[in-house]
């Protein structure tokens, strides 16, 4: 794809579309990526990120991360910080899968110890952690209990024995965001969500057994702080979100916003998918409080899955999770909007930062980073495709240019439908097994859709994120087992 003539190269990894690109832009749009990535990006990204630049209250830049691709309203990879007084909140800037994110847990087991048990381990994980469209969990809770869960997040799980106190410390927002109000949630959303705690879901959601090989540790000192201390150490990484619950919350409020946006607030947007309400309006506040329930549902979901993972490891290896060193490195989301303080032209401002397919990457010393990591910056977990490996990065002070945000994954280059025509799930499974990755999937077509070849090269994305200074590599994890939704 030829780059638009008007695009300005700010550096090797930062590209700017000025306000003259399109009428109504309030700020320039900046896309992060090497020239190779920028050229491979779908054209819709230019259109979508410059649409975002027209939204009321947007501050400094509309940003797109190196793994950007077209999404609902906002591109996936989009970051937009809105003034909390004058600005809007937009479900399209958060995503349907509210608080979708990554969780990483280490073990002290080595590849040689795990390899003889790998199939049993993956098969048991596949059995214990329901995956696929419409899957329901083992946790039986009433609708009322579920309303408590969406207000309490992972705290509810730990209180009920599904996890450890220190898991909470290693979770963004300590596993429970303040201000979640279940009164702002529809019965329909409760219906869809109350039996989905502890389920993986479908699409690009997965759970992976990975190995941290010594040659793929980029920063040994930081890796040690994150708990990577043994050669060929085994880790478990997984990716899931708020399932049908978050989806319904987004759907409910998109409808509300479409009704009041123009008539009540006089806001017109260039794309209906950018439906918004003033952040300070009753509708905006209701969505924010409901969206926070989605955030907490997602933390609880990942907490319960972690508990199941520990149970399965105990079953397979006959040791306690503590004995196997199954400590959480971190849980970090990539579909949220949160009020944060950021420095704008030397002044601290309260901003509502939308991150849609973009990971928070707070740097050293920042408020909100767990004590253990405070001096070095927060862990950033970026899942690659199921065939290529995943990265652990760290937030940097250079993150200030993107409101401390970075990429979240590889980013698709091929549509799901084309991927299904290109690969067959059964063949892919055999090929992956021959390459040392044992994969179990809820759906053959779902497996084909997630083929590594349908994604950008994760290494290109990470290279761009590091070169631009918005995060720094710590380690690359190589998959050996995968449970795919």
Beta bridge partner(s), residue 211: 234, 478
Phi-psi region of 160 (alpha: psi -120 to 50; beta: other; left: phi over 0): alpha
* Beta carbons of 137 and 130 less than 8 angstroms apart: yes
Q: Which stretch binds DNA (CB under 7 A): 29-37, 114-122, 185-193, 418-426?
A: 185-193
Minimum distance, C-beta of residue 191 to DNA, in the bound complex (Å): 6
The binding track of 54-83 with respect to DNA, each residue x by CB under 7 A or -, is ------------------x-----------
> Any residues with CB less than 8 A from the CB of 232 and at least 6 apart, and which?
110, 111, 112, 211, 212, 213, 214
Instruction: Please state, in angstroms and as integers, the Cα–Cα distance from residue 345 to each residue in 70, 349, 449, following that order.
Output: 31, 10, 44
Q: Which residues are known binding-site members for Mn(2+)?
A: 97, 205, 239, 334
The binding track of 419-458 with respect to DNA, each residue x by CB under 7 A or -, is ------------------------x---------------
Tell whether residue 96 is a contact of DNA (CB under 7 A): yes
Touching DNA, residues 466-485 (CB under 7 A): 485
* Beta carbons of 77 and 95 less than 8 angstroms apart: no
* Beta carbons of 92 and 273 less than 8 angstroms apart: yes
Tell whether residue 188 is a contact of DNA (CB under 7 A): yes
End-to-end CA distance of the chain: 32
* Beta carbons of 392 and 357 less than 8 angstroms apart: no
Q: Give me the numbers of helices (H) and strands (E) for the chain, helices first please.
A: 15, 19
* Beta carbons of 419 and 447 less than 8 angstroms apart: no
Tell whether residue 84 is a contact of DNA (CB under 7 A): no
Q: Which stretch binds DNA (CB under 7 A): 27-35, 197-205, 286-294, 304-312?
A: 197-205
Of 461, 133, 153, 460, nearest to 336 (Cα)?
Answer: 153
Question: Looking at beta carbons only, is 60 or 356 nearer to DNA?
Answer: 356
Touching DNA, residues 198-217 (CB under 7 A): 201-205
Minimum distance, C-beta of residue 188 to DNA, in the bound complex (Å): 6
Tell whether residue 383 is a contact of DNA (CB under 7 A): no
Q: Which position among 28, 75, 241, 481 is part of the footprint of DNA (CB under 7 A)?
A: 241
Q: Is 117 tagged catalytic?
A: no
Minimum distance, C-beta of residue 448 to DNA, in the bound complex (Å): 13
Q: State both tokens at 410.
A: 């590889």
Tell whether residue 356 is a contact of DNA (CB under 7 A): no
Instruction: Please state, in angstroms and as integers, the Cα–Cα distance from residue 373 to each residue in 221, 358, 363, following that order.
Output: 12, 20, 10
Residues forming the active site: 408
Q: Note the residues at the interface with DNA (CB under 7 A).
A: 72, 96-97, 100, 133-134, 188, 191-192, 196, 201-205, 240-241, 243-244, 247-248, 443, 485
């Amino acid at each position: 794809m030829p780059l638009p003539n008007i695009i300005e190269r700010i550096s090797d990894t930062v590209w700017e579309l000025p306000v003259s690109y399109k009428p109504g832009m309030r700020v320039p749009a900046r896309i992060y990526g090497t020239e190779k990535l920028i050229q491979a990006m779908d054209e819709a990204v230019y259109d979508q990120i410059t649409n975002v630049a027209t939204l009321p209250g947007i501050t400094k830049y509309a940003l797109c991360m190196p793994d950007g691709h077209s999404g609902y309203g906002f591109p996936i990879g989009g970051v937009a910080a809105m003034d909390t007084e004058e600005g809007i909140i937009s479900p399209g800037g958060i995503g349907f899968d509210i608080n979708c994110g990554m969780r990483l847990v280490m073990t002290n087991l080595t590849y040689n110890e795990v390899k003889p048990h790998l199939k049993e381990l993956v098969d048991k994980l596949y059995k214990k952690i329901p995956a696929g469209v419409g899957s329901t969990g083992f946790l039986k809770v009433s609708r009322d209990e579920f309303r408590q869960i969406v207000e309490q997040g992972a705290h509810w799980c730990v209180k009920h024995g599904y996890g450890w106190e220190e898991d909470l410390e290693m979770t963004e927002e300590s596993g429970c965001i303040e201000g979640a109000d279940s009164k702002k949630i529809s019965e329909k959303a409760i219906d869809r969500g109350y039996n989905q705690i502890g389920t993986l879901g479908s699409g690009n959601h997965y759970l992976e057994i990975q190995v941290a090989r010594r040659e793929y540790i980029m920063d040994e000192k930081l890796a040690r702080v994150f708990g990577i201390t043994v050669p060929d150490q085994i880790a478990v990484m997984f990716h899931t979100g708020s399932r049908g619950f978050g989806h319904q919350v987004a759907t409910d409020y998109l409808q509300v916003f479409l009704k009041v946006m123009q008539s009540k607030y006089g806001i017109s947007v260039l794309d209906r998918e950018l439906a918004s309400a003033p952040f300070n309006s009753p509708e905006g506040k209701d969505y924010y409080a409901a969206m926070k329930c989605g955030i907490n549902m997602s933390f609880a979901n990942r907490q319960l899955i972690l508990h199941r993972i520990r149970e399965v490891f105990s079953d397979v290896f006959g040791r306690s999770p503590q004995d196997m060193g199954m400590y959480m490195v971190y849980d970090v989301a990539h579909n949220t909007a949160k009020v944060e303080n950021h420095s704008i032209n030397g002044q601290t401002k309260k901003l509502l930062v939308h991150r849609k397919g973009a990971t928070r990457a707070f740097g050293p010393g920042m408020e909100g980073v767990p004590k253990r990591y405070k001096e070095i910056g927060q862990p950033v977990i970026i899942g690659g495709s199921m065939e290529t490996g995943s990265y652990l990065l760290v937030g940097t002070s250079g993150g200030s240019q993107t409101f401390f945000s970075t990429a979240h994954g590889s980013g698709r280059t091929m549509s799901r439908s084309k991927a299904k025509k290109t690969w067959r799930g059964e063949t892919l499974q055999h090929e992956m097994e021959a390459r040392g990755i044992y994969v179990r999937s809820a759906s053959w077509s779902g497996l084909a859709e997630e083929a590594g070849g349908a994604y950008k090269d994760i290494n290109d994305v990470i290279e761009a994120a590091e070169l631009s200074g918005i995060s720094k590599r710590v380690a690359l994890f190589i998959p050996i087992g995968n449970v795919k939704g």
